[in-house]
Chains A and B, each alone.
Chain A
Amino acid sequence: MNDVLDVALRLLVVFVVFLTFPLIVGQTEHKVMAHMQGRLGPMYAGGFHGWAQLVADGVKFAQKEDVVPAGADRRVFQLAPAVALLPYLLVLLAIPIGPGEGAVGQVIDAGVFFVLAVMGIGVLGSLMAGWASANKFSLLGGLRTAAQLLAYELPMLLTAASVAMAAGTVSLVGILDAFQWWWVPWQITGALVFFIAGLAELQRPPFDMPVADSEIIFGAYTEYTGLRFALFLLAEYAGIVVLCGLTTVLFLGGWHGPWGTDGLGWVWTLLKTAVLAFVVIWLRVTYPRLREDQLQKLAWTLLVPLSLAQIALTGIVKVVIR
């Protein structure tokens, strides 16, 4: 009975995190973008500085009619948002938030592989949406999504492999247990490559070619309305939470901190994740969108060689210090 309760409680906590954290990131994005652009952002919903704006948005989305275009492939079209969103829920299960086995949804032996594999599935949702919409802009968006995923999954995997080499394990919990503070400068190249590749996989600016609203009208999501569109948006913000959490765990030491790791380890994890999420928003406001060929060039001629160099460095240091 105790085991069942334990599992149920963990699942519940992960689910609550999955429902709230993306909304917090979304609201932060509203406010941060507004202030960086010299305006106020949403101010009315909820009273204090428009804190309930996203709740109001949710109500608005729920009220809208759920339209499926006549020429679309009905089942695939309706299934796509779920395929895009659910993988991020699964990934959250494996991210450790504090020290010990109590602070992670489920300890997974091959954690690094699990998170990267499942994150890759989410892209299938965009592809399905792009094809099933029977819309040329959507198809273009789907194509760009696929090309982007193929280009950016490799550097992500290679840099994650570098951390796994350093720690001698592919378990996320094990990597955190083996972490030392000097890993941050040692793996900094890998961290940057991982974060940039992750941004590209999430299709966040400046890598938002697949959704580029000013040229292909939000790509794969053009035909979506109401709740299904909201699910795609939620997937994007859940993706930000997952990417920042993963970067924190793999490269920034997760619950390790200068002090108070025993009781307050989870605060460190959340703090680092929040700072990274802020950087994600910051990049959106700061950088213009890359062109499709620039994006491919960046991946194949810069990120892949850099991640290979990082792996070589990791190997050399590993051999020298043993």
Chain B
Amino acid sequence: MTLAAAAGTAAHATTTAAAETHGFLSPTGVEIAFLLVGLVTLGAAVITVTTRQLVHAALWLVVALGGLAVEYLLLTAEFIAWVQVLIYVGSVVVLLLFGLMLTRAPIGRSPDADSGNRWVALTVAVVSATALVWVVVDAFRTTWIDLDGAPAGSTEVTGASLFQHWVLPFEALSVLLLAALVGAIVLSRKAKAEQAATATAPAPATASGAPGPAATRSDTEGTR
């Protein structure tokens, strides 16, 4: 999210004020594509939270996140788009699927997977969506990306903007993620120590386990 905001600001800073030449009534091909991909993304996101099939929800999430990457591409933020695919589609969804398959992933519907908090969830979702849309609309209003000018979202521009204007948020985020990582390691080790302590009392033979994979799995969960 921060990366996207930084890229947006970079685009904002480098685009010229060409607002007069554009109108909402004569959309270009890029704008039509943007709208269509947006609709697909929104649809996939809605299906993700409403479907009764757990693994299907994760797979629709792939569609939603991939659609978002295409939107970044259409906004000329190429670097952000590929990072989106790499982190979210390639790692987060794989982690999700891994977790699902490790615990429970029945074929077909799972009616017991429904939450009683659906109205609260809906309220939170609508409120956060309103806040985000409001912020973005208010920040950019009628800023247009000059497609013929210098590239506004290339790796070089994104990097320069990130490490010149946004170093402090970047470093703060890094520290936050590091803290989460350390916290996850501590939690997983503590849980294992307690488990070992309780397991040794009745049956000493079962209190073993490969330390590597268990610890690393919760690390990766912590960092994301």
Contact = CB atoms under 8 A, between A and B. Distances in A.
B94 A117 contact: no
A303 to B, nearest CB: 13
A131 B101 CA distance: 7
B55 interface: yes
B45 interface: no
A113 B210 CA distance: 33
A121 B89 contact: yes
A153 B90 contact: yes
Interface stretch (B2-10, B78-86, B199-207): B78-86
Given A121-B90, A127-B97, A139-B101, A293 B213 contact: yes
A204 to B, nearest CB: 19
B123 interface: no
A72 B95 CA distance: 22
Contacts of B62: 124
Contact of A109 (B91, B97, B151): B151
A271 to B, nearest CB: 29
Nearest to A149: B94
A127 to B, nearest CB: 5
Contact of B213 (A72, A108, A121, A296): A296
Given A110-B82, A110-B155, A139-B101, A123 B94 contact: yes
A300 interface: yes
12 contacts: A71-B107, A110-B79, A113-B82, A113-B83, A116-B86, A117-B82, A150-B94, A150-B216, A150-B220, A293-B210, A293-B213, A297-B212
Contacts of B86: 113, 116-117, 120, 157
Interface stretch (A25-33, A140-148, A181-189, A210-218): A140-148
B184 to A, nearest CB: 14
B68 to A, nearest CB: 13
Given A73-B107, A110-B155, A150 B212 contact: no
A76 interface: yes
Contacts of A151: 216
Contacts of B107: 71-73, 131-132, 134
B42 interface: no
A110 B89 CA distance: 17
Interface of B: 55-56, 59, 62, 78-79, 82-83, 85-86, 89-91, 93-95, 97-98, 101-102, 105, 107-108, 151, 154-155, 210, 212-213, 216-217, 220
A114 B97 CA distance: 22
Nearest to B53: A73
Interface of A: 71-73, 76, 108-110, 113-114, 116-118, 120-121, 123-124, 127-128, 130-132, 134, 139, 142-143, 146-147, 149-151, 153, 157, 169-171, 293, 296-297, 300-301
Given A110-B79, A130-B101, A146-B97, A121 B151 contact: no
A127 B93 CA distance: 11
A157 B95 CA distance: 17
A300 B90 contact: no
B64 to A, nearest CB: 14
B1 to A, nearest CB: 18
A110 B101 CA distance: 33
A128 B98 contact: no
A170 B155 contact: yes
User: Which of A109, A153, A170 gathers most chain B CB within 10 Å?
Assistant: A109
B131 to A, nearest CB: 29
Given A146-B94, A296-B216, A109 B79 contact: yes
Contacts of B55: 73, 76, 131
Given A124-B62, A131-B105, A113 B90 contact: no
A150 B223 CA distance: 13
Contacts of A108: 78
Contacts of B91: 120, 150, 153
